[in-house]
Amino acid sequence: LGRRTEWPQQGKWGLPGGVIRIDLDKDLETSAQRIAQERLLVPLLNVKQLGAIGNKTRDERAGWTISVIYRALFPRKHFEPHPGKRFDELKWLAVDDAAADATIAFDHADIIVGAAKQLRAEIDKLEIPFEFFRGPFTLTELQTFCEAILGNKLDKSSFRRRLADRNTIEPSGNVRTGAFRPAQLYQPSKI
Amino acid sequence: LGRRTEWPQQGKWGLPGGVIRIDLDKDLETSAQRIAQERLLVPLLNVKQLGAIGNKTRDERAGWTISVIYRALFPRKHFEPHPGKRFDELKWLAVDDAAADATIAFDHADIIVGAAKQLRAEIDKLEIPFEFFRGPFTLTELQTFCEAILGNKLDKSSFRRRLADRNTIEPSGNVRTGAFRPAQLYQPSKI
DNA sequence: TCAAAAGTGTTAGGCATACACCCATGT
DNA sequence: ACATGGGTGTATGCCTAACACTTTTGA
């Protein structure tokens, strides 16, 4: 979330958004990319459209507004957004906290609810966003990642069998050593 | 599909669509309803948003166009659309024929492909649109309906067990008599 | 009486969970 | 040696597909 420096909803925390520039953007996804660059100073990965919302009341700047909602996913470690246009600060929130926060700008809390639901459905089906969760990784790391998104524990054996059935990842040949037994490293299948 | 009477794509067959009127419509779905009324002279049932498409090239009337796509479902028997604004004729096409038709206006064939896929996924999960397929009906009629949408045969016994597990329909108490053994009539569960 | 459709039962397999168990390593 | 995380095997249950079967009716 970014803290808004300007009217409307000044001082409130909201999702980054912006206005389509027909002179700059060739399509909607390009708009999303440009706006993210302007407001977060970074490009987006793993972008997916979630739908459109439009009505008279959702933004006091206009009598009518349409937003086309895009979600993106990031490897948190190598992703350092900075406040750009009309934000003076950024912060990360756990998605369920943000969804429950009544002070969030506009109807952005509803949008967050929808996005979290959508992503969890994907993870349930083991559609792993590898643009986000890059290899090499151990199976336990991947499982921990999925558990963090879903918000509940998974069974190790079942998780691995389901992954194996799908052929979405393959061993990289290397291992990760740590305090205990080394773990096989995996990567997304190239096939 | 309707045959377009005006530029652009005059004479081509396309989906009904139109422009949001911020003075008339309170939200996107209301727009969809108003536009259907204008172009098909009937209201819509079972409306669902499928997403938004926007880019520079999809409509030659403007340098940039966004369409928010809505699908609706109808009981064909009691639904009689008539050509309204900018259509001189309407025709029904089997959805896979329309999807494969290269002569369809704009990018509407792509939209049809997406809509068919989405609906089939719903029917696969036995999410029956009862606003479309009203009771009372026999189980065989419901199965035939699903088979028509999916484009393949279903197993009678499995289909019935899956329905029973879900508790989405209940016997109405009446039967339908015909040339052969009478069939129990069902309706959507009210619970 | 018999063709056609209504309706039921039975088996086998895919896929998931739950849980118990063994393995390898750095401290 | 042992605690800890890596890794595997087995029992069980749910859901579904496939298919055989019985029942009922009007012509």
State the Cα–Cα distance between residues B3 and A131, nearest whole angstrom.
44
Nearest CA in chain A to B51: A51
Considering only CA atoms, which of B43, B168, B151 is closest in space to residue B97? B151
CB contact under 8 A, A56 and B20: no
Please work out, in degrees rounded to the nearest 5, the angle formed at the alpha carbon of residue A176 by the alpha carbons of A173 and A182: 95
Considering only CA atoms, which of B77, B65, B83, B88 is closest in space to residue B10? B88
CB contact under 8 A, B66 and A66: yes
Nearest to A22 among B27, B31, B63 (CB): B63
Any strand C atom closer than 7 Å to B82 CB:
no
Does residue A169 sit in helix, strand or coil?
strand
State the Cα–Cα distance between residues A115 and B145, nearest whole angstrom.
33
- pLDDT by residue, tens only, chain B of 191 residues: 999 999 999 999 999 999 999 999 999 999 999 999 999 999 998 899 999 999 999 999 999 999 999 999 987 777 899 999 999 999 999 999 999 999 999 999 999 999 999 999 999 999 999 888 887 999 999 999 999 999 999 999 999 999 999 999 999 999 999 889 999 999 998 76
Nearest CA in chain A to B58: A27
Is-contact B17 B33, C-beta < 8 A? no
Average pLDDT over residues A87-112: 96
Is-contact B50 B69, C-beta < 8 A? yes
pLDDT confidence of residue A189: 87
On strand C, nucleotides with any atom < 7 Å from a protein CB are: 3-10, 15-20, 23-27
Any strand C atom closer than 7 Å to B174 CB:
no
pTM listed for this prediction: 0.91
Cβ contacts of A53 on chain B, cutoff 8 Å: 28
CB contact under 8 A, B56 and A20: no
On strand D, nucleotides with any atom < 7 Å from a protein CB are: 3-10, 15-20, 23-27
